[in-house]
Amino acid sequence: MQATDAWIAHAVTGALAGAAWIGAAGLAFGMLAAWLGAGNAISRWPAALALLLALPQLWLLLRVAIDHRLFGALAAGASDQPGLARLDAALLELGWMPAGRAARPLTERARGALRLVRASAVLTVCQLLLALLSLILR
């Protein structure tokens, strides 16, 4: 195990915990946009778009929750290669990972998890902007 692996796992676990809050805020903005858009026909399209963006946001929240638990386990001391091999075996058995992605180093896994964090943040900003647009068009 590399000396930095546990710290990488801890950092990613923290980022994923923050992503859960970011995703929840995005869903709240989507609901706000829907509520504001119920007023008139002009403000309905941003509200509808915000609700459509809630679907990938929900998917990201699920992925973030799963990855948060997995990286938490790795941060607790299972980031050695046999631990990663067992994780890969479990993910393959569940059908959650293609065989070609097995045996990746922890840093590559961390980058993938952080892409989920960024995607959730982008969706949240979009939902906030749509909520503001719904308010303006109201």
What's the total number of domains in the chain? 1
Rg over alpha carbons for the chain, rounded to the nearest Å, is: 18
- Rounded distance, CA 104 to CA 124, Å? 30
- List, for residues 37-56, the tens digit of each pLDDT value: 887 888 889 989 999 999 99
- Rounded distance, CA 138 to CA 129, Å? 14
pLDDT of 125 higher than 90 = yes
- List, for residues 66-111, the tens digit of each pLDDT value: 999 999 988 887 545 567 888 889 999 999 999 998 889 999 999 9
